[in-house]
Amino acid sequence: MGGKESREIHHYHEDKESKELARQTQEQMKALRGQMEQQQRMSEENHRKHQEALLKLEEEKAAELRRFEQEQAQNQQRHQEALRRVEELRADEKAAALQRLQQEQENRKRDEERARAESEKQAREAEEHLAQELQRERDNAHKAKLEKWQRLKRDYPIPDFLKNYVNEVSENSAADADRELHVNVALLGDSGTGKSSLIKAILKHFGVDLPADQMPRISMEGDGTLEPSRFPLAILGQVSLWDLPGQGTAKIPSMTYLCNMGLKYFDAICIVTDGRWSEGDDNLLVAIHYAGIRCFVVRSKVDIAVDAGVEDKGWSQTETLSHVHQQLQTQTRLKSHRIHLVTCRERFWKDFGSVDDFCKHLKQEVQASLRDEPVEQHFDLEPQEDVNMDEFDDWVMAPPGPVGVEHPRLDAGNSCLKPVVKRPREAGA
Ligand SMILES: Nc1nc2c(ncn2[C@@H]2O[C@H](COP(=O)(O)OP(=O)(O)OP(=O)(O)O)[C@@H](O)[C@H]2O)c(=O)[nH]1
Ligand SMILES: [Mg+2]
């Protein structure tokens, strides 16, 4: 055995060892690879498991979310349902309340209609009753008026000049109420006091323009008005101004004046005095008052009074006019506004005596007469209570007896408030 063989043996052993080592290394490598693959597999397995777990979790989450959403949807649905039910309930309640309200309203309306119908019925009945009462009252009043009228006509014939102008009371009350009324205003007073002149001024005031020959006749030296003359004064309808002849002349004696002039048939009377308040004036005033006729007094010719005041007393115009007014008020006892101081001389009107106020008063009296208003108390003092008005009225207005037979007179003096009570009228008188 040489070195070559030992080297060979040595190589052989080395080779065997290295082969063994390589085999071992390979085995180790293989085992390592197996381990690594194992680990890789395990890691993959873990990863897969993890992924699966994640997926499962995701799915569970998604399922949970779905469930949650489902629940929410259900809840919402339930909520909506509950709301709907509440709404329905409310709507039902509302409908029921509305129905109740409507029912109540209908009931109330029905009750109101019933009450209204009832009250209308009652009002109708009351109206009918009132109308019947009024008609009855009207009929009674008309009956009384007719009787009074017939008695008046029987006892005091209407003077011829007045016949077409007095308000005849007709038998039929409706026709009577419908007819156009006449209003007659008379101007009375002593002869020459200025009645015709005053009428002329009144006509002018109201714009009535007549031809000269149809104007009131102004008297000159005693040739005054002898016949009653009528002057239509269209201020409100059928108004007539009557220019009556003055009393106290031989042709027109005071005693028969009242009756002849048909005093009772006038609606308003104006007594014209030119300063001397005569017994005739006083008689007229009392008679007019007790006949219940509207009346005023005109003091005419105040221009002469003013002149006399200056000349005789040294009074101013105002002093004289005030004195004249006061004097006449004392004499007549009339309320102040029923006395008018006028002059027919137009040139004085800018200072005093214009007929304007009198015309205004006249118009008011005409209106009051057309409205059938009661005649107001004319005097400042009440008449005596123990005076029997009917009797007084009777004798003041009685037709005069034959000449020489005592005619009923008023009390002596100028008092228009103290009529003497008449002795009873003889039968048939
Ligand atoms: N100064 C003055 N004179 C007047 C006034 N009014 C009338 N007169 C005059 O008095 C006179 C009589 O006037 P009338 O109007 O005719 O009197 P009367 O009352 O109608 O007379 P009889 O119809 O006769 O009753 C006439 O001369 C008029 O000029 C007046 O205001 N002043
Ligand atoms: Mg005259």
Mutate to test the pocket of ligand 1, among 202, 219, 231 (most ligand atoms within 8 A of CB): 219
CA of 308 to the centre of ligand 1 (A): 17
What is the C-alpha separation between 6 and 18, in angstroms, rounded? 17
Ligand 1 atom with the shortest distance to the CA of 246:
25
DSSP state of 282: H
Counting from 1 in the atom list of ligand 1, the atom nearest the Cα of 220 is 27
Mean pLDDT taken over the chain:
80
Which residue in this structure is represented by tokens 């005076």? 387
**Does ligand 1 have an atom closer than 6 angstroms to the CB of 86?**
no
Question: Which ligand is in closest contact with the Cα of 274?
Answer: 1
Q: How far is the CA of 324 from the centre of ligand 1 (A)?
A: 18
Residue 274's pLDDT band, with cuts at 50, 70 and 90, is very high
* 268 — pLDDT class (breaks 50, 70, 90): very high
Q: State residue 410's pLDDT score.
A: 32
241: β partners: 185, 231
pLDDT in tens, 293-318: 899 999 999 999 999 999 999 999 99
Q: What is the pLDDT of residue 287?
A: 76
Per the model's pLDDT, the better-predicted residue between 312 and 60 turns out to be 312
pLDDT at 418 over 50: no
User: Vertex 379, ends 375 and 383: CA angle to 5°?
Assistant: 95
Ligand number nearest to the C-alpha of 246: 1
Which of 13-22, 276-285, 342-351, 406-415 has maximum average pLDDT?
Answer: 342-351
Task: Please tell me the least confidently modeled range out of 109-118, 234-243, 381-390.
Answer: 381-390
Number of H helices, E strands in the chain: 9, 6
18 or 412, which is more confident? 18
- State what percent of residues in the chain have pLDDT above 70: 84
Cβ within 8 Å of residue 410, ≥6 positions away: 279, 282, 283, 286, 396, 416, 419, 420
146 CB under 6 A from ligand 1?
A: no
Ligand 1 center to 230 CA (angstroms) = 18
Give dist(CA 107, CA 112) in Å, integer.
8
Cβ 145 under 6 angstroms from ligand 1: no
In this prediction, residues 120-139 reach a mean pLDDT of: 88
**Any idea which of 30-44, 111-125, 249-263, 285-299 has the lowest mean pLDDT?**
249-263
Whether 320 is in the pocket of ligand 1, judged by its Cβ within 6 Å, is: no
74-99 tens-digit pLDDT: 888 888 888 888 888 888 888 888 88
pLDDT tens column, 157-204: 788 888 888 887 777 777 777 777 889 999 988 888 999 999 999 999
d(CA 183, CA 338): 19
